[in-house]
Structure 1
């Protein structure tokens, strides 16, 4: 009897240590995405993220006006860490988003990335089934809340701006300080200080806050709280193949292997509405990718 209880306890403890499918192995016991719902009930909910955006089913919404970004252009010093699942940049106060049919102002909390392997497919959201090399999430919470754990108790307590990262023939010099800092956070729990950066530096070179998709979903990592207003921008951030590959080559996960394929598989919409802003072009995904590659070759 005691042995059974002890083994059950070990299963719960190990299961609570979630990971991506690429990290599931015989040598490292953790709970992969397929099993997240067993340990974290909300991960099995009906409003989960990420999703595949089907362009022909997206509905225009004239209320989705351009977002207003406050403080994104201001330089700051931020703490960058390897948390075992991704690289996360904690943001100081003073950066906010408003407009775009958000019911109130949200303050920026942190940004992080999801990627594939050596610059291959790695985004969480997809458009018409097309997966981009990377995806960046800038996480915001309503101003009255002091933490993410507090904000997720509100069905719309979190607002995430999602940006796809696409391959370009030339390097994005603005990302160089950030990528250089990855060498200082190779292993989980490593932290470093990144100086003189701004959120504006991470946005597309020709950032257009008027073209985006909107839907309600969840955090894409446990406990998968269904409290997120998602805004996914059509304009992609340009990085060279070498810059894209650096994330999976320089950063290691808890089992001591390169951190690769750090994305959750797509989740069913279950009848949820995906809207687009009034000026979103809604080109088919293969056209977006092709034209993006042509245009982004000129980005620095």
Structure 2
């Protein structure tokens, strides 16, 4: 009986080792099968949209659908404020006809909310090589008011980001403008959570109820670009770099301007965007591309932009200034 017991002790661990190896082999086969099934993608999508029943190229694989998405000067990026360089050429912008009221159509294009803008609104100065006329604006957001901006500042991701897309004045269409390395200028604005609703955004928030389904569109009456952004006097502090479109084809023809002052929206207003749907019926959330490598690019700041210090650096700076002992 004791001999039989010893035999079991010797054999069972061996069986367990075989079982473990078999489990690993089965797991690898299953993963390979999953990978084969889920990556026969055609079009691009966001990470939140990817599923086996919706085969698409998630952000890490956008280059499979559009080769430019693996370029060296891609957007968005993380702006490290202490590494930015002050550029005296980054003067205040001139905003022409931004106050003008216009009518347009707001659309759920399957990836975002987009509104066409008449080419009457023009930006100039601000270090730009000329005048640029507005073409459209769209937004990127997270999940029910959570982190969702595309660009980040010192690693901080805001709940949402607005992009107002402009092209050089002499171009007649965006496709042609994108063939020019400086053909497009995008103004980026961040949003922050507020305890009260932003009444200026009510036309857009109400319109979202009518475009929940992909490719849905509805009229947007009596709106101006000026009502969507901070007052002009608060738009002198910004960051500048050269990059790309943040959606495929990822064309590297964009002069980016990221404004420091955020736009307030209530949590309810922010959550309204997450009620939209992707074409596959999934909740439209997480509509942002992860930040991309700088690859040697220099990010500049206007004269009024503030370099943000971490609390630790701030304490150290104060201690040094007053000759106080520093706590390690």
Residue 5 (structure 1) aligns with: none
Answering whether residue 276 of structure 2 is matched by residue 267 of structure 1, we say no
Partner-residue secondary structure (3-state), 2:273: helix
TM-score, normalisation: structure 1: 0.89
- Does the 8 Å contact 1:128/1:285 carry over to 2? no
1:27 aligns with 2:53: yes
- Secondary structure of the residue aligned to 2:72 is coil
Query: Which among 84, 87, 92 is matched to residue 118 of structure 2?
Result: 92
Partner of residue 144, structure 2: 118
Structure with the greater alpha carbon radius of gyration = 2
Match of 1:157 among 176, 183, 206: 183
Q: Single out whichever of 36-45 and 112-121 deviates more from structure 2.
A: 36-45
Task: Provide the rounded CA distance (Å) in 2 between the counterparts of 1:241 and 1:85.
Answer: 21
Residue 204 of structure 1: CA displacement? 2.1
1:121-270 correspondence to structure 2 within 5 Å: 121-204=147-230, 208-249=234-275, 251-270=276-295
After alignment, is 147-156 or 129-138 more displaced?
147-156
Distance 2:60 2:233 in 1: 35
> SS in structure 1 opposite 2:234?
coil
TM-score, normalisation: structure 2: 0.81
* Aligned residues: CA RMSD: 1.6
- Alpha-carbon distance in 2 for matches of 1:281, 1:92: 34
The unaligned stretches of length 5 or more in structure 1 are: 1-10, 287-300
Question: SS in structure 2 opposite 1:131?
Answer: coil
- Shift of residue 209, structure 1, vs aligned partner: 2.1
Deviations 1:237-290 (A, max 9, x none): 0000110111002x111110110000000000000000000111223488xxxx
Match of 1:61 in 2: 87
Q: In 2, Cα distance between the equivalents of 1:19 and 1:68?
A: 36
Of the structure 1 ranges 212-221 and 143-152, higher mean CA displacement relative to structure 2 is found in 143-152
Separation in 2 of the partners of 1:28 and 1:71? 42
**Structure 1 Cα separation of the partners of residues 232 and 185 of structure 2:** 22
Structure 2 gap ranges (5+): 1-36, 312-328
Distance 2:310 2:214 in 1: 35
